[in-house]
């Protein structure tokens, strides 16, 4: 009878160890899953911070100085000015030169126009002979104050936001959606 009792004890001991091992691996899995979940939660803000510039639109937030307001007092035709704008695109910050036109509206107030055609984005110069802004790409024409005259453009030339600081005319350069009748800022 002695050997049988010993075998039973061994079997009992074996099954206890099997239960303990199963418990240990279950707890191990729980700890692993918990750690991974906490790690993922902590990583989200870091990943968003690192990738934000990739998905952010190119932006320009600065004002550009066009010169003293007095220097435009005798303005009789649209005057082209080049401005430097700095843009952030992803991680890259670049400075580029953009043409704008300073014009007068019907009431004689100063206004600054983008030269980007609202049709498909070609650059629109002032044509002295025609006394119009004339787009070389598809023939859209605009009056001296930027209003649409003819062609496939869905609207007139876009005016840019301006302000006067210390007697200087300042402009904020922006881009607008093309092919839509109403002005809509895109960047
Ligand atoms: Fe100016 Fe088409 S891009 S008319």
Q: Is the pLDDT of residue 37 over 80?
A: no
Q: What is the pLDDT of residue 29?
A: 72
Instruction: Report, in this order, helix, strand and coil percent for the chain, each rounded to 5.
Output: 30, 35, 35
Highest mean predicted confidence (pLDDT) among 12-16, 34-38, 53-57, 165-169: 165-169
Q: Pocket residues for ligand 1 (CB within 6 Å)?
A: 117, 119-120, 122, 135, 137-138, 140, 151-153
pLDDT tens digit string along 70-127? 999 999 999 999 999 887 766 778 888 999 999 999 899 999 999 999 999 999 999 9
Q: Distance from CA of residue 103 to its chain's centroid?
A: 28
User: What atom of ligand 1 comes closest to residue 140's alpha carbon?
Assistant: 4
Q: Whose CA is nearest to atom 2 of ligand 1?
A: 138
- Using alpha carbons only, what angle is made at residue 176 by residues 174 and 83, rounded to the nearest 5 degrees? 30
Q: CA-to-CA distance for 1 and 158, rounded, in angstroms?
A: 104
What average pLDDT does the structure give for the chain?
Answer: 85
φ, ψ (nearest 5 deg) of residue 63: -100, 140
Distance 139 CA to ligand 1 centre (A): 6
* Percent share of the chain, pLDDT over 90: 58
Q: What is the pLDDT of residue 1?
A: 46
The model scores a pTM over 0.75: no
Q: How many helices (H) and strands (E) does the chain have?
A: 1, 10
φ, ψ (nearest 5 deg) of residue 12: -60, -45
Concatenate the DSSP letters of all residues of 73-123 into one string. Answer: TT--S-EEEEEEEEEEETTEEEEEEEEEEEEE-TTS-EEEEE-B-TTT--B
Q: CA-to-CA distance for 34 and 186, rounded, in angstroms?
A: 43
pLDDT tens digit string along 154-184? 999 999 999 999 999 999 999 999 999 999 9
More confident of the two residues 119 and 25: 119
């Amino acid at each position: 009878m002695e050997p049988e009792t010993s075998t039973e004890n061994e079997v009992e001991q074996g099954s206890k160890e099997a239960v303990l091992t199963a418990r240990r691996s279950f707890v191990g899995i729980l700890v692993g899953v918990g750690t991974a979940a906490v790690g993922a939660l902590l990583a989200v803000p870091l990943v968003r911070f690192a990738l934000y510039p990739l998905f952010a639109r190119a932006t320009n937030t600065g004002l550009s100085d066009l010169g003293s307001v007095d220097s435009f007092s005798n303005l009789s035709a649209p005057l082209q000015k080049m401005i430097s704008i700095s843009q952030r695109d992803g991680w890259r910050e670049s400075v580029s030169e953009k043409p704008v036109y300073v014009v007068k509206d019907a009431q004689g107030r100063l206004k600054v126009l983008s030269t980007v055609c609202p049709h498909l984005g070609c650059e629109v110069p002032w044509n002295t002979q025609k006394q119009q802004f004339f787009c070389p790409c598809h023939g859209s024409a605009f009056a001296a104050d930027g209003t649409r005259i003819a062609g496939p453009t869905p609207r007139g030339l876009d005016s840019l936001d301006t302000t006067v600081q210390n007697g200087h005319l300042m402009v904020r350069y922006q881009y607008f959606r093309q092919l839509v009748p109403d002005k809509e800022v895109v960047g």
